[in-house]
Structure 1
Amino acid sequence: MPIKAVESQRLYRRIAEEIARLIKRGEYRPGCRLPPERDLAAMLKVSRPSVREALIALEVEGYVDVRVGSGVYVSRAGGTRVKVMPLASDSGPFELITARRLLESECAALAAKNASQLQIRRMRAALSAMIRDRKRNVMPLENDRRFHLEMAEAAGNSALALLVRTLWDQRTGPLFLQLEHHFDTPTLWDAAIAEHQSVMVAIEAHDGAKARATMRRHMDQAARRFQKSWTIGVPRSQQASRRQHGVGNGAA
């Protein structure tokens, strides 16, 4: 099967264009299951996270349908939905997570050093609100955002706080939301809350090294959550909970 290699630095947009070209040429027909991400990454000579970002972009644009527990299939609509440019910055979800890992780990370390008692109470209040949300079976996205932004403010550097806020605003774009839609579950939120608690304990102890390490671990886990195989089924109990609570807005 003819397929062009894609330079890795061009990231998901170039990969998406190449796969869309193959779909339009009939290499992958409507209803056809695409090769696994690992195979596509090898054929295109790019990383698997970049392939995943490309497939999510193609799903947003109507070229493919992602079926968790089965795989990725060419849409019978053939890309006829209204096309959406996923992010004005052209940043993919995993790029955003990587950027947040770099920034927020240092913010956590600085917060451990610089946070006032009032700022620590605000972070603790945001974390407590996340826990209350989960007990009420509400996905705690807003209080998750609140925790991270309070931590960035507590770092004592307004430029860092602005960058963190900007990245959080970008993660509400269609690419990130679509990716989260496939993987967010109450169980994953429980894990994310536990990770936030570890960060909070380190900041309260004024342990900058531990705060940095626990925030890095949290962001690494967030990336792993969104790289789980699409061919591994989600338990029915979690599928029902996702439908009931409208899950799709990110344990990160």
Structure 2
Amino acid sequence: MPIQTVEPQRLYRQIAEQLRQLMASGEFAVGSRLPAERDLALQLGVSRPSVREALIALEVEGMIEVRTGSGIYVQSTAKPKTRKTPAQADSSAEWGPLEVMSARILVESEVAALAAQNAQKKDIKAIRAGLQQMKQEAARHEMPREGDEAFHEAIAQACGNSVLLDTVQRFWTARKGPLFERLGDYFEHPASWQAAIAEHQAVFDAIEARDAPAARKAMQKHLKQAHKRYSASWRRAPAR
């Protein structure tokens, strides 16, 4: 057997693997309810966001079912199919969603401040167009994800730093991954997007006014609120 590359595992994947083993051993039988997210975090000695990411991963694999307002139930103990390695797929698609949100708070707040300082007329036009696209998508009762991406990428383009642009683009690669998509299924809805659009408007206004501190603060507030929305209680997630 040839030597294979050793990959460091992300924390949420380590948690998911431990839960898989407990299900396979019969500790959590098919049809049984798992402990609450908070209890799992205490028992495992990890954060609730990490547990949530692990549970979302297990749901994507078909091993558990989240029943809003009831709990999380074991659906299967069968070992999932082998997943693609980072050599086969962009590893950013496997980043934990809430971990991505935490990183975005740090990085994109500074990107917005730089954009306020460096944006040219064409950049302001592109940022405005992204915001307008979000509003149009929401008016059609669509989740305005395309406009959201266009808005944030236009700000990254305006900041004048290609490394930061590449970083923000990788955040959006992660945003299109299966874990993020499933999390969005639970916690994105018309009311949350209307709040997000108002937050985006504040970011745009600060950049257009060339007010770097205000742009930083507005972006930070927006992304912290987004993180909070994704971290809400399962019971507050709208039924699908």
Q: Is the shorter-chain TM-score for this pair beyond 0.5, marking a shared fold?
A: yes
| Counterpart pick for 1:142 among 146, 169, 186 | 146
Cα drift, residue 97 of structure 1:
1.1
Counting aligned pairs with the same residue, the percent is: 50
| Shift in CA distance, 173/43, structure 1 to aligned 2, threshold 3 Å | same
Unaligned runs of 5+ in 2: 1-8
1-structure distance, mates of 2:175, 2:10: 20
Unaligned runs of 5+ in 1: 1-8, 240-252
For the 8 Å contact 1:100–1:167, the answer to whether it is kept is yes
Aligned residues: 227
| Shift in CA distance, 233/174, structure 1 to aligned 2, threshold 3 Å | closer
Per-residue CA distance 1:146-167 (angstroms, 9 max, x = gap):
0000000001111111111111
Aligned to 1:249: none
1-structure distance, mates of 2:13, 2:141: 36
For the 8 Å contact 1:62–1:79, the answer to whether it is kept is no
Alignment of 1:14-93 (within 5 A): 14-75=14-75, 77-79=76-78, 82=81, 84=83, 88-89=91-92, 90-93=94-97
| Shift in CA distance, 233/102, structure 1 to aligned 2, threshold 3 Å | closer
Cα drift, residue 88 of structure 1:
2.6
Per-residue CA distance 1:106-157 (angstroms, 9 max, x = gap):
1100011110122111111110111111111122111110000000000111
| Shift in CA distance, 197/168, structure 1 to aligned 2, threshold 3 Å | same
Cα drift, residue 32 of structure 1:
1.0
Aligned to 1:194: 198
Which amino acid is 2:77 matched to?
G
Which amino acid is 1:88 matched to?
S
Cα drift, residue 78 of structure 1:
2.5
Cα drift, residue 69 of structure 1:
2.0
Aligned to 2:5: none
For the 8 Å contact 2:24–2:78, the answer to whether it is kept is no
TM-score, with normalisation over the residues of structure 1?
0.85
For the 8 Å contact 2:97–2:174, the answer to whether it is kept is no
2-structure distance, mates of 1:10, 1:103: 20
2-structure distance, mates of 1:223, 1:118: 30
Cα drift, residue 96 of structure 1:
1.1
2-structure distance, mates of 1:233, 1:156: 38
How large is the Cα RMSD of the aligned pairs? 1.9
